[in-house]
Structure 1
């Protein structure tokens, strides 16, 4: 089950469970859409993979025991601003390789 981290790892912008601005990589590194699009260029600085929109966990229990009430969002903040010079080297090494081909 996804942790649903509460904020962007780079800028620390709040990303509550219902946020449509949250992006995650396959390891669940969590960033806001602005950082992913404008700074990271859809490349995770931690693993080199791409990002997708983080799913929104239902707040209401529609099916019997599955919702934010029973499985609350995580509270662990991971604030680790990206070294943009190091990230530029990663982007250069990937040379425009699509996320599905990395």
Structure 2
């Protein structure tokens, strides 16, 4: 289970509740829904991503 933290893991700087880490991707713009959306993943991109973190134990990710 992930632990929610109100600060940056790297510098311990407080994060504002409305921080946008990935563009305009936040609940205010995209509210939660019960509708299922199909979002296909590019296998090559996912393989590259998973290879980068595969050697890191889950508790250290």
User: Is the TM value for this pair above 0.5?
Assistant: no
- TM-score range for the pair, normalised by the shorter chain length: 0.3 to 0.5
- Bigger Rg, structure 1 or 2: 2
Structure (1 or 2) with the greater strand fraction: 1
- Greater RCO (CA < 8 Å, at least 6 residues apart): 1
Q: Give the TM-score of the pair, scaled to structure 1.
A: 0.25
